[in-house]
């Protein structure tokens, strides 16, 4: 995981190795002194210090503070300035190489070549700047659709605003699933537990309380009344005072102390390897060409400039621009299809994804959970069980799940009436280890009653009795087995089942030094009361969506916290095979190696925890799969970070949205499938340029070496090579808008350097064959060997150079249409209109150049009339040969197009 994760705001689950404060310079990373002061004051003192009040700031005060402190974002989230965009575009090895070569040309008094190289730099950098600026604006518009909100008190009212608009002095409400929107001082709290492992490495939630701490502890992270940006609420609720925002936060200072680089994808690494491969080619070729031409021609000055021009010709200077434009266009196209891209480089991973791990709720099902049954242990309808479940859901302050909402939506007067008979005493928040949520209420008789609701197997393990027909019956293993069979009948019918249990006790007071009189240890010796059963019908579109993803080479694996029986039934109804099922308890007993062998064939993982999900993803990645994970809950954040591409929905909790790379505006696998196809289009178009540039350069190496050895003059003037390269580059600028054949989208295409090497080795020399035939025809048919007088020699040289320029430019432009598809070009597959028009314009410009006033300036002359039929025949033969070699490679499956 890259340090760049640190720069995303708000930060979700950051790697411990980055955020362990012991690894950073304490002088560079400081907690705001104001935050420490607030921690040592009581609530009234903290509010006074921030010049605010319990009802929050006014809009006017907030606006003034926003101007003073700036937006509540970290550096990476701010839109880049023009200077940053320019610097980013220039700081590229290919552009730097061109700049050095142009400087050398001007220094050695070759302004034509220097000017041509400057024009190429302007073309590459300029187009990239324009597209990056457009992409930045489009990304800002798209991200605005998924911006994280904060619930804030302003003007005496409660409202939701973007977290970027928060300022010191704001009073915010926090609930389960919320990200902490800044460094805050807790003002009020009820069972507030935070996940702050991203800062401390702790695996367990930490409770926060509003009491002042004086003197404060030496380690800022040990402050019990302070919460930091980058952490999240697991359970409970609170009011908090915002003390520091943006770069003034603890994690903001840490972000500035680290290199802020985007995490590299496999595609990024492949592009980098290709770039340096081209530079290595140049490092070998240029000195060789210089020495050969110097020795054979005797003019070392000309040889030097020719070698410089060859270096430029071998430089794929348009690659950064092509990649940027492809990614930007892809992001905008995906946005139109309700897929929002938060990180551009994630587009390629989405296209390369071959395994999708997802929960079933809302993905395979409608996410409209209905409470269908409320029964005793004998599966007879029970109003008492419903009343207990209703009280549990009503009194809890944590994030209410879809099951809680279904219970509360159940229109039963008796269930609602029970609330008036209870007074809440305490609650024991849900966590994914226990899988139980409990509340403690005081009855009208003055007794405390603990009401627990959770996974049946978790409740069973804590029960000493069960109730049937008004009698309490002690349980043993045999009876529990019988009870398990009863609730499994509901599961087999597709119901999601929760067990309900209670425990009576004497009332307790507040324990000294502890504001929570009840804890997890009290969830014992329970009495099982019965079950509540929910139905979440499958989506009608789920089956078609699964077939579409599988047809595009993406296998779907379901990771759910539900039990095996419910998950099997849903999977069966949507057409997903469940021949192999793995349970979370079984995973616990497996070594990593055993899990790696199991995950490949398993399609359903049931009763899994957040840690299990992460292990599954990492096991799949170890098998060289590109793994996507789709989740929307608090428990999904670790898996979203571990996956190659994290996918969430705009209705997800804050921590899930901020952990994801891709956000779906509609929770549908069909929408995701559309996004996958767009990702593959982006990859296909970038790969077109890479293949064209690499194969063309490889062929040019042989052509230039041969011409340097046996042609008695420079085969092409340096300025002509540069003009050829500039026109070819212009023709390539339309590649990002090119159409992609449907068969190129049928399966994931990860970066494959071996396949690219085979393509270069076989396709590249095809151009050299016709370069050499052109040399021979120009030398022996058109008499370019003739150097009997200086005038004839000059004309022969100019004719040869013009003839090769035309053949080289036209064949390079034509090859675009052959390499872009695995089919027969022009007949079975046609390029986009933009590519076709630019190809025609480039070829027409090249043909017209010798006849224009610019022709003599560039050293061109008109070619004989008979040369044009020869050139036309060369183009036809070249197209046929390249198409034949390409078809042979495809049939042998040595390459894939």
**CA distances in angstroms from 44 to 53, 56, 526, listed in the order given:** 8, 13, 42
Give backbone dihedrals phi and psi of 115, rounded to 5 degrees, phi first: -65, -40
- Short-list 183, 178, 214, 212, CA closest to 193: 178
Phi/psi-derived region of residue 190, left when phi > 0, alpha when psi is between -120 and 50, beta in every other case? beta
Only one residue has tokens 């990056």, namely 132
Only one residue has tokens 């999708």, namely 356
Q: Indicate the helix (H) or strand (E) that contains 176.
A: none
Only one residue has tokens 């982006």, namely 682
> What's the CA gap between 566 and 824, in Å, rounded?
50
> What's the CA gap between 268 and 748, in Å, rounded?
16
- Those residues whose C-beta lies under 8 Å from the C-beta of residue 380, and which sit 6 or more positions away, are none
- Short-list 597, 680, 2, CA closest to 353: 680
582, β-bridge pairs: 605
Structure tokens at 294: 């110097």
- Short-list 97, 74, 93, 79, CA closest to 138: 79
Specify the 3-state DSSP secondary structure of 419.
helix
Q: CA geometry: angle at 559 spanning 553 and 561, to 5°?
A: 165
Judge whether 25 counts as a catalytic residue. no
Among 110, 178, 248, 359, the active-site one is 359
Contact 353, 647 (CB under 8 A): no
- Short-list 465, 5, 39, CA closest to 226: 39
Q: Classify residue 592 by burial, with Cβ atoms within 10 Å: 0-12, 13-18, 19+.
A: exposed
Three-state DSSP string of 711-756: CCCCCCCHHHHHHHHHHHHHHHCCHHHCCCCHHHHCCCCCCCHHHH
Structure tokens at 515: 């504001």
Contact 236, 210 (CB under 8 A): no
**CA distances in angstroms from 480 to 123, 397, 485, 562, listed in the order given:** 75, 31, 9, 20
> What's the CA gap between 685 and 323, in Å, rounded?
9
Q: What is the DSSP string of 396-414?
A: --SPPPHHHHHHHHS--HH
Specify the 3-state DSSP secondary structure of 372.
strand
Distance of CA 548 to the CA centre of its chain: 22
- Those residues whose C-beta lies under 8 Å from the C-beta of residue 442, and which sit 6 or more positions away, are 422, 423, 424, 425, 448, 449, 507
Residues with catalytic annotation?
A: 359
């Amino acid at each position: 995981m890259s340090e760049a994760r640190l720069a995303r705001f708000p930060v979700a689950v950051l790697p411990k190795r980055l955020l362990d404060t012991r690894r950073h310079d304490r002088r560079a990373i400081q907690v705001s002194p104001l935050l420490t002061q607030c921690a040592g004051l009581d609530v009234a003192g903290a509010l006074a210090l921030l010049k605010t009040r319990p009802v929050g700031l006014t809009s006017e005060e907030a606006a003034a503070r926003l101007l003073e402190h700036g937006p509540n974002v970290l550096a990476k989230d701010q839109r880049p300035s023009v200077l940053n965009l320019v610097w980013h575009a220039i700081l590229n090895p290919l552009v730097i190489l061109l700049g050095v070569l142009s400087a050398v040309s001007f220094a050695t008094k070759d302004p034509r070549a220097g000017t041509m190289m400057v024009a190429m730099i302007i073309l590459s950098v300029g187009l990239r700047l324009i597209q990056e600026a457009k992409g930045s604006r489009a990304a800002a518009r798209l991200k605005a659709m998924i911006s994280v909100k904060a619930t804030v008190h302003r003007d005496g009212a409660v409202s939701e605003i973007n977290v970027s608009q928060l300022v010191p002095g704001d009073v915010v409400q926090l609930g389960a699933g919320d990200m902490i929107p800044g460094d805050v001082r807790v003002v009020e709290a009820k069972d507030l537990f935070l996940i702050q492992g991203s800062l401390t490495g702790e695996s367990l939630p930490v409770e926060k309380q509003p009491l002042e701490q004086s003197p404060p502890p030496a380690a800022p992270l040990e402050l019990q009344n302070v919460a930091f940006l980058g952490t999240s609420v697991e359970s409970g609720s609170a009011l908090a005072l915002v003390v520091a925002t943006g770069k003034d936060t603890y994690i903001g200072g840490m972000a500035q102390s680290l290199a802020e680089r985007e995490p590299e994808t496999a595609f990024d690494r492949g592009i980098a390897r290709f770039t340096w491969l081209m530079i290595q080619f140049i490092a070998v070729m240029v000195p060789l060409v210089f020495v050969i031409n110097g020795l054979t021609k005797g003019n070392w000055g000309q040889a030097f400039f020719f070698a410089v021009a060859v270096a430029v010709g071998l430089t794929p200077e348009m690659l950064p621009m092509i990649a940027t434009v492809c990614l930007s266009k892809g992001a905008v196209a995906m946005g139109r299809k309700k897929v929002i891209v938060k990180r551009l480089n994630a587009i390629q991973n989405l296209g390369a994804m071959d395994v999708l791990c997802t929960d079933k709720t809302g993905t395979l099902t409608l996410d409209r959970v209905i409470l269908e049954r409320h029964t005793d242990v004998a599966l007879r309808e029970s109003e008492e069980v419903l009343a207990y479940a209703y009280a549990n859901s009503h009194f809890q302050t944590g994030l209410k799940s879809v099951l809680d909402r279904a219970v509360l939506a159940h229109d039963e007067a008796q269930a609602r009436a029970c609330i008036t008979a209870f007074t809440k005493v305490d609650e024991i928040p849900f966590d994914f280890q226990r899988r139980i949520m409990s509340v403690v209420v005081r009855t009208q008789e003055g007794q405390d009653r603990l009401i627990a609701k959770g996974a049946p197997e978790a409740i069973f393990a804590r029960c000493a009795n069960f109730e049937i027909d008004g009698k309490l019956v002690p349980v043993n293993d045999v009876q529990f087995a019988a009870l398990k069979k009863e609730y499994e009948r509901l599961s087999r019918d597709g119901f999601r089942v929760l067990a309900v249990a209670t425990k009576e006790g004497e009332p307790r007071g507040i324990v000294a030094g502890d504001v929570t009189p009840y804890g997890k240890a009290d969830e014992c010796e329970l009495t099982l009361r019965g079950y509540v059963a929910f139905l979440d019908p499958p989506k009608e579109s789920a089956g078609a969506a699964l077939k579409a993803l599988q047809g595009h080479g993406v296998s779907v694996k379901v990771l759910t916290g539900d039990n095996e029986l419910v998950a099997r039934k849903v999977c069966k109804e949507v057409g997903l095979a469940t021949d192999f099922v793995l349970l979370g308890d079984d995973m616990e007993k497996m070594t990593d190696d055993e899990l790696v062998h199991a995950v490949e064939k398993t399609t359903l993982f049931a009763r899994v925890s957040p840690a299990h999900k992460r292990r599954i993803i990492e096991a799949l990645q170890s098998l060289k799969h590109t793994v996507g994970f789709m989740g929307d809950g608090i428990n999904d954040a670790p898996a979203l970070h571990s996956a190659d591409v994290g996918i969430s929905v705009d209705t997800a909790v804050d921590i899930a949205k901020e952990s994801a790379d891709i956000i779906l505006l509609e929770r549908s696998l069909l929408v995701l499938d559309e996004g996958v196809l767009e990702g593959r289009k982006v990859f296909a178009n970038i790969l077109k340029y890479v293949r064209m540039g690499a194969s063309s350069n490889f062929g040019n190496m042989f052509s230039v070496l041969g011409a340097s050895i046996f042609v008695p003059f420079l085969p092409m003037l340096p300025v002509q090579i540069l003009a050829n390269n500039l026109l070819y580059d212009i023709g390539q600028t339309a590649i990002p808008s090119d159409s992609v054949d449907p068969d190129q989208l049928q399966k994931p295409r990860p970066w494959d350097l071996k396949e690219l090497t085979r393509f270069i080795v076989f396709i590249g020399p095809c151009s050299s064959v016709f370069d050499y035939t052109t040399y021979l025809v120009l030398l022996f048919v058109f008499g370019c060997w003739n150097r009997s007088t200086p005038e004839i020699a000059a004309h022969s040289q100019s004719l040869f150079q013009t003839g090769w320029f035309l053949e080289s430019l036209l064949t390079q432009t034509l090859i675009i249409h052959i390499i872009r598809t695995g089919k027969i070009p022009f007949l079975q597959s046609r390029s986009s209109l933009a590519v076709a028009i630019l190809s025609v314009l480039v070829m027409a410009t090249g043909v017209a150049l010798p006849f224009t006033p610019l022709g003599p300036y560039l050293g061109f002359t008109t070619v004989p009339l008979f040369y044009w039929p020869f050139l036309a025949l060369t183009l036809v033969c070249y197209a046929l040969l390249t198409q034949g070699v390409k078809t042979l490679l495809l049939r042998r499956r040595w390459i894939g197009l």
